[in-house]
Amino acid sequence: MNTFGNIYRLTTFGESHGAGIGGIIDGMPAGIDVDMDFIQSELNRRRPGQSRLTTARKEEDSVEILSGVFEGRTTGCPIGFLVRNANQHSSDYDNMRDLFRPSHADYTYTVKYGMRDHRGGGRSSARETISRVVGGAFAQLVLRRLGITVRAYTSQVGDIALPGTYRDYDLSLTEKSPVRCPDPETAQRMTDLIMQVKGDGDTIGGVVSCVVQGCPAGLGEPSFGKLHAALGSAMLSINAAKGFEYGMGFSGMHLRGSQQNDIFVPVAANGTDCDRHRGDSGRITTLTNNSGGVQGGISNGQDIYFRVAFKPVATVLMEQPTVTTDGTPTILAARGRHDACVLPRAVPVVEAMAAMTVLDYYLLDRATRI
């Protein structure tokens, strides 16, 4: 199942140390101007080696569009794309061939497929997210036109968490810090923590928060295609993701229903929210947005916000006991250049998956509006 989506569909391929990473976007609306600079810049945000926080590997990750674009616009035909792998040090991984790295996919791939490409994690490598970022960037080209924005940021690293919500920060500052946290002071503390952990040869996890704004009401397909379920599946499919919550999420259990319900009110004549709504029901909004912009699985025109938990990177630069593929105890000593914290580079991936999900559900919703 290397295909994501229903109408806007991304199918991907590629391993860490194979020829390249790529994919096919199907269901792209025709006639959309293709802003190649934007697409490449999204890839650059995901690229390793952007700052001292992330792995020092230099990867150019330059994307080639193979089809589906003609004279600068999408044709409605599938968009094939390819990012060649470069700077491959496959021999770095020779010592991985015959052992299972703890908390990686080495063991499970071997059991499932009877074999694996041991170089850099093969298909299970986070390099796979390159395809997601390209798919998301094309989706963003459409969302822009629809007035829908998707913005993610690092809201927690280890025990350092942003105290507020997306409304409390200037999200345009997110890209100013290498850790992609919009609050400069917190960003600095997160950076310090990551550098300390990195110095220990260890790794650390955290949380990415994301908000989708300008999304019209009516997106989501009950009962198994609830919008938040689709977002959850999309986020949980990202490497190292361990949890997803939207709206009040896990903290909602501390409030009673009467406290948590979002009260409907008429939108004032000069309100701007009403533009997001459709149909006869028109000019209605809610006083609060504890629901996270989704009610009964369908967007209600409010901001859609959610959080994704990421575990620490499994590769630590310390000796770890493990076993060989035939079950003999051994010691793993990882080498090479690895992220001490995946969060900064996860931010554009979260945005990409959110963009594809929202566009897919936008198109699905259109289908039956005759």
Report 137-156 residues binding a copy of itself (CB under 8 A).
142, 145-146, 156
Q: Which of 35, 65, 149, 171 binds a copy of itself (CB under 8 A)?
A: 65
Yes or no: say if 30 and 75 are a contact pair by the CB < 8 Å rule. yes
Binding part of the chain for a copy of itself, among 38-46, 166-174, 178-186, 303-311 by CB under 8 A, reads 303-311
Degrees (nearest 5) of the Cα angle 23, 25, 28? 165
* Residue 225 phi, psi dihedral angles, 5° rounding: -105, 35
* Residues between 165 and 194 with contacts to a copy of itself, criterion CB under 8 A: none
Judged by beta carbon, residue 172 or residue 290, the one nearer a copy of itself is 290
DSSP-derived letter for residue 303 is: P
Order of all β-strands in the sheet with 9-14: 3-4, 9-14, 20-26, 79-84, 63-65
Distance CA 190, CA 209 (A): 15
Choice between 43 and 234, CB closer to a copy of itself: 234
The binder of a copy of itself chosen from 147, 268, 318, 335 (CB under 8 A): 318
Instruction: Say whether 133 sits in a helix, a strand or coil.
Output: helix
Binding residues among 6-35 for a copy of itself as defined by CB under 8 A: 6-7, 9, 11-15, 18-24, 26-31
205 binds a copy of itself (CB under 8 A): yes
Q: Is 209 in the site for a copy of itself (CB under 8 A)?
A: no
* Span near a copy of itself by CB under 8 A; candidates 38-46, 47-55, 106-114, 170-178: 106-114
Say if residues 350 and 238 touch (Cβ distance below 8 Å).
yes
Is residue 36 part of the contact set for a copy of itself (CB under 8 A)?
no
The answer to whether 66 and 82 have CB atoms below 8 angstroms apart is yes
Q: Site for a copy of itself (CB under 8 A): which residue of 48, 136, 182, 247?
A: 247
| Residues in CB range of 204: below 8 A, 6 or more apart | 157, 158, 193, 194, 197, 312, 340, 341
Please report how close the Cβ of residue 193 comes to a copy of itself at its closest, in angstroms.
Answer: 10
Q: Which stretch binds a copy of itself (CB under 8 A): 35-43, 45-53, 173-181, 278-286?
A: 278-286
